[in-house]
Amino acid sequence: MSLLSFVPAITTGAAPDTAPRILMIDNYDSFTWNLVHYLAEAGASVEIARNDALSVDEALARRPAGLLVSPGPCTPGQAGMIVPLIRAAAETGLPVLGVCLGHQAIAEAFGGRVIRAPRIVHGKTDMIAHDGSGVFAGLPSPLRATRYHSLCVDPDSLPDCLRVTATATDGTIMGLTHRSLPVEGVQFHPESIRSEHGHEMIASFLRRCSNSTEAA
């Protein structure tokens, strides 16, 4: 992949020059393109950069309406600049959504720890109970979602600034959000075809990005 790729909005709504522009950080994961497609369907224009293609300053200088950090095969600390980027983006008030590895990176960015999951889960669906906030707004609880992970956020390490928004049937943290900043993560894969309401979750994140841009 080149330094940056660009995918325009593919809905019939907003014109390309008015579509919210989302910066997608690709952690060398095939699921990235499913997320890009969901964003484009929801009306976003998407710039995609791998986690070692831009510095934190270069990423923020692109002035996106929001930041989405993709899944990936490694730990947050091995995934380029995603942890410092999340921290820096949050300080500017930029909406951030982390998926799987991106979710774990949010925890680390604010002082949490990532540990081995109680069991390795790859391609298994589970019922996710949630509190109806953030990307879960208006969605039924529990809902079915697909899990692909061997790591998870340590609940005992969660800092006061983060709160749990969703859990799996085994108690593993499946969602978290910052208490005062527009930052949230989901451990499961909303972009999986076997996950329920994935399109709605991505559209909800995009609305937050659009609202943040209008308020700026």
Strands 143-153 and 114-130 turn out to be: antiparallel
Each residue's pLDDT, cut to its tens digit, for the chain (216 residues) gives 344 565 555 543 445 567 889 999 999 998 899 999 999 999 999 999 999 999 999 999 999 999 999 999 999 999 999 999 999 999 999 999 999 999 999 999 999 999 999 888 988 999 999 999 999 999 999 999 999 999 999 999 999 999 999 999 999 999 999 999 999 999 999 999 999 999 999 999 999 998 866 555
Q: What letters, b where the CB count within 10 A reaches 16 and e where it falls short, cover 152-172?
A: bbebeebeeebeebbbbeeeb
* Domain architecture of the chain: domains with CATH: 5-215 (3.40.50.880)
The CB density around residue 139, as the number of other CB atoms within 10 Å, is 16
Q: Which residues are part of the catalytic machinery?
A: 100, 189, 191
DSSP string of 131-169, one letter each residue: -S-GGGTT--SSEEEEEEEEEEE-GGG--TTEEEEEE-T
| Residue 149 in tokens | 């992970």
Residue 20: C-alpha distances to residues 24, 171, 203 (Å) = 12, 35, 12
